[in-house]
Structure 1
């Protein structure tokens, strides 16, 4: 439950609530977001150096949502938490960058299926390799086992159904 005494306290962003042992509670989501942002920014710097200068964070979410079997714009929109029109624009942008192709659905010629190209698969494979290197770097910096402990703790706190959500871009966009 929420402590009503703390709800009415004024929070100084530089200091937090007086008496907080490990820092102000509101800092946790910012630290998690900052850690995410640090990893993603480093990832995209490395991807640019490896031949993917136009890749953006939202593209990674979309490519994962398309997956190995492809997706229609409606399916892509549902997976990303955006409208069908927004998903269509994302697919068009990814196609222009060479990460996906679109073709008529063999089951229903009225629908188009978005599929990953070899260039899109290369982006996903390189992303996985860079994430592995960044995780190893964090483990070296934080000390043996601390990154693993953090991951174990987050797995315990985050419901399994929410661990690999791809709708973050739509959620952040409001």
Structure 2
């Protein structure tokens, strides 16, 4: 098998999984969720964060993070408010809608993994191999805006 065929299969599998995740998220009340939103939700976390910190965690500028926050606030996934520990900072936190989307995503990922295991056999070995390959090149997932 030529290398490009193997790489293409890996990329198609990843793309198909993300597409299916978002199809199912739409069914569960989140039709406006995009792949980049999930990265932002993870970076915001349970305690919230500032736009600067969000940008650092996502590997984007503060301005790009601010634009993402504007979009997420418009969609009802986050709020901005004063930081209780420092009134000069604006804290970005997930709303109940944002938390629901994050939980639904986790549930769907579990469903997808179960489906893969039922369909493709030893998926855990494949996951371990792919993880090792990603580590070979310092693989870090970053959002594609």
Give TM-score, length-normalised by structure 1. 0.76
Give the RMSD, CA atoms, in angstroms. Answer: 2.0
Q: Say how many residue pairs are matched.
A: 145
Alignment partner, residue 131 of structure 2: 155
Q: Say which one has the larger Rg.
A: 1
Deviation at 1:135, TM superposition (A): 1.0
Structure 2 counterparts to residues 117-132 of structure 1, below 5 A = 117-132=95-110
Structure 2 counterparts to residues 30-69 of structure 1, below 5 A = 30-69=8-47
Structure with the bigger percentage of helix: 2
Gaps of 5+ in 1: 1-22
- Structure 1 segments, 4+ long, off by >4 Å, are none
Structure 2 counterparts to residues 92-131 of structure 1, below 5 A = 92-131=70-109
Deviation at 1:156, TM superposition (A): 3.2
CA distance in 2, matches of 1:110, 1:90: 21
Deviation at 1:107, TM superposition (A): 2.8
Gaps of 5+ in 2: none
Look up the SS of the partner of 1:89 in the other structure: helix
